[in-house]
Amino acid sequence: MRRITGFRLCALVLGALCLASTAGTAAEPPPGLSPTEREVFQRIKARIIREATKTLADDRFEGRGTLQPGGDKAAAWIADRMKTLGLAPGGEGGTYLQPVPLVATELVEPTRVSVDGTPLTYGKDWSSLGAFADLQVSAPLVFVGHGLVSKKSGRDDLKDVDLRGKIAVCVEGPPAGVTVEKWAEISADANLLETLLARGIGGLISLANGRELLPRTFVIDQTARRVVSVPSTTPPSEIPVMFFGAAAAERLMAGSGKTAKQALDEAGSAAFSPWLLAPKVDIQLESSRKEGTSPNVIGVIKGSDPVLAAEAVVFSAHYDGFGVLRQTIYNGAADNAIGVGEMLAVAEAFARARVKPRRSLVFIAFTAEEYGLLGSKHYAAHPTWDLAKTAAVLNLDGIGTEIMGPMKGMVAYGAKLSSLGPMFFEVARAYGITPMDDPIPAQGVFRRSDHYPFAERGVPGLMLVGSPVDDPQQFTERFEEFERTKYHQPSDDVYRDWYWKGARKVADMMALIGHRVAQADALPSFNAGSEYAGRARGEAPKAAGR
Ligand SMILES: [Zn+2]
C-alpha cells in the first residue's frame, strides 16, 4: 500500500502500510461451488504464486522501481506471463502495456541541511516532503507550536506573529492527553500548511512529540526517498517542507533554556504564543529530474456471453516497489510481489478453464502505486476497457498477512460500500473465513490502493487482505510489527517460513468473487447512502484531471 502524506494542522498523517512453506497438494474446494467454480478452484496453484512472487522479489528485478530498469524488466516479465497464458493484450497499440508518463526527482549533491553550521544526516535527522525544487534558504526560525488556528476550538496559536519569510517550526503529534483521533476532530476546521503559506512562510519544519500516528524515525526513513510524480500536475514545492528527527529537534531548541520535550509539551497549552528560535538553519536542496514512462500491464480473457462479454471484471495488483535507493534493493515481496503472484494465479486458472465466465476478465498489474496510485489513476482517466462497462475491481495489496499462517480472517476493504459486500460475505462463509471490519480505520486504507480511483469514478471494488488471526487487536499487532520491521524497507523479502497456502486462499477467494460478479445478471452497485452512490460508471470525479 502506498504512503499517504498530508498536513493537517501540525498533524501530519503519514500512512502506515501504501497492508509453513510447502506449496501444498490440491485442497478440497469449499461446499456450494458451481462446477465451473470448482474447476477454477482446482486450477489455482500455490506453486504458481510462489514462483511468480519469488521471481518478482528476486534481486535481478532490482525492487521493481518506477522509472528504473528493474520496473521495466518486471513489466516485461508480467506481460510475457500474460502472453504465455493466452491472455489477449489489453494495453495500448495491441500490446500488454499502457505507458504512464511520469517524472522522478531525487535529492543529489550538494544538498545540505545544517543547524549552526553542523550538518544533519539526510534520512536520519531530516527528510523533505514532495517533489523537490532547487532551493537555498537561510531564514529566522519561529516555533509556532501546533499552529492551530481554529474558530471551532477558539484557539489561535499564530497570534501576534509575523511569519513572512521565516521558517515555521511546528509540532505534529497531539498535545498530552489527547488522542490522534480527538486531535483530528479538534483541528478539523484548520489547515496548517495553507494557513502558514497564506502568512508567507519561507519554509516549514515539522517536529514530533512522540504522540503522532507513526514514529518519527519511520516517517523520515519513508520520506527521504526519490519521488515519482505526474509531470504536468506536480510543480515542485517552492519552499522546503521538512521533517526533523529528535536529535535535530534538540539542536533547534539550543539556547532557549528548554529541552525539546519541554518546548513541545508547552505547545499543547491553549495559551501558547509563537517564539523565535536562536539557532541558524541553512538549507540547500538540489535535485535531479528524470522524465519517462512506466507501464501498466494489462491482459484480457474474453467472456463467453455474446452480450455480457462487452463488460469486464478487473483484477488488479501493483507490481512496483521502491527499487534501488542509495545502492540498496527494496525487493517489496509482501508489498506487493505476492499480490501480483496471486493475481497471475487467478489469471492462469481462468485462462485454463474450459468454460469462461459470461463477462470478460481484465488483469492489470499497476505501476507507481507507491507514489500515490499514479498507475491506476492514469488508467482510470484513460481506461483501455470502458469504465462504463467495468463491473467491479478486485484488488490485492497489503503486507502479506496471508502468508503468516493458516488464514482465519479477511478484511475486504470496500465491502460496506457496495453490493460486493454480501458476495464477499457469502464466499468468506463458504471458506469458513471470518469477515473482519477494518481493524485500522485511522489509516484510511480504502483510499490508499489501486481500487480507489475506480471507486472515484463509480466502479465498486474490494481489496482483499487475508489474515492468520480474526481478532482485530491481534491483526493490528501483526500489522504494526510488519510496519516497524519490514514495511517499505529492504527487509520486505520472501522468507522460508511463508505459508503459501494462505496466499492460495486469497487467490481462490478473489477468483470466486470475481467469477460471481462475472456471472451475475446485474452489475454490482454502490449502496444507497455510501459516498460513491449515484456516480455513473466512468464519470470523472469532481476534482478530476488526475
Ligand atoms: Zn502496496
**267-302: per-residue pLDDT in tens?**
999 899 999 999 999 999 999 999 999 999 999 999
pLDDT at 20: 31
Burial of 276 from C-beta contacts in 10 A (0-12 / 13-18 / 19+): exposed
pTM of the shown model: 0.87
Distance from residue 398's CA to the centre of ligand 1 (Å): 6
pLDDT at 420 over 80: yes
pLDDT at 24: 39
pLDDT category of residue 265 using cuts at 50, 70 and 90: very high
pLDDT in tens, 70-117: 999 999 999 999 999 999 999 999 999 999 999 999 999 999 999 999
Contacts of 210 (CB under 8 A, 6+ apart): 173, 216
> Is residue 293 helix, strand or coil?
strand
> Can you name the residues that pair with 464 across neighbouring β-strands?
412
Contacts of 520 (CB under 8 A, 6+ apart): none
296 sits in which H/E element: strand 287-301
Distance from residue 316's CA to the centre of ligand 1 (Å): 11
Distance from residue 217's CA to the centre of ligand 1 (Å): 20
Read off the DSSP letter of residue 220: H
Distance from residue 273's CA to the centre of ligand 1 (Å): 41
Distance from residue 355's CA to the centre of ligand 1 (Å): 32
Selection from 294, 297, 293 nearest residue 79 by Cα: 297
Distance from residue 338's CA to the centre of ligand 1 (Å): 10
pLDDT in tens, 123-177: 999 999 876 778 999 999 999 999 999 988 889 999 989 999 999 999 999 999 9
pLDDT at 45: 93
Distance from residue 1's CA to the centre of ligand 1 (Å): 3
pLDDT category of residue 1 using cuts at 50, 70 and 90: low
Distance from residue 463's CA to the centre of ligand 1 (Å): 11
Distance from residue 19's CA to the centre of ligand 1 (Å): 7
Distance from residue 318's CA to the centre of ligand 1 (Å): 7
pLDDT at 10: 30
* Angle at the Cα of 526 from the Cα atoms of 524 and 530, rounded to 5 degrees: 165
Distance from residue 497's CA to the centre of ligand 1 (Å): 21
Q: How many C-beta atoms lie closer than 10 Å to residue 351's C-beta?
A: 19
Distance from residue 448's CA to the centre of ligand 1 (Å): 9
Distance from residue 466's CA to the centre of ligand 1 (Å): 14
Burial of 159 from C-beta contacts in 10 A (0-12 / 13-18 / 19+): exposed
> Can you name the residues that pair with 8 across neighbouring β-strands?
11
Q: Percentage of the chain with pLDDT > 90?
A: 78
Distance from residue 335's CA to the centre of ligand 1 (Å): 5
pLDDT at 156: 94
pLDDT in tens, 17-31: 333 333 334 578 888
CA 40 to chain centroid: 30
Distance from residue 67's CA to the centre of ligand 1 (Å): 17
Distance from residue 3's CA to the centre of ligand 1 (Å): 9
pLDDT at 9 over 60: no
Question: Is residue 444 left, alpha or beta, with left meaning phi > 0 and alpha meaning psi from -120 to 50?
Answer: left
User: Would you say how long the chain is, in residues?
Assistant: 546
Which residue reads 524488466 in cell numbers?
Answer: 73
Distance from residue 336's CA to the centre of ligand 1 (Å): 5
Read off the DSSP letter of residue 418: B
Distance from residue 79's CA to the centre of ligand 1 (Å): 20
Amino acid at 269: S
Distance from residue 237's CA to the centre of ligand 1 (Å): 26
Contact (CB, 8 A) for 347 and 313: no
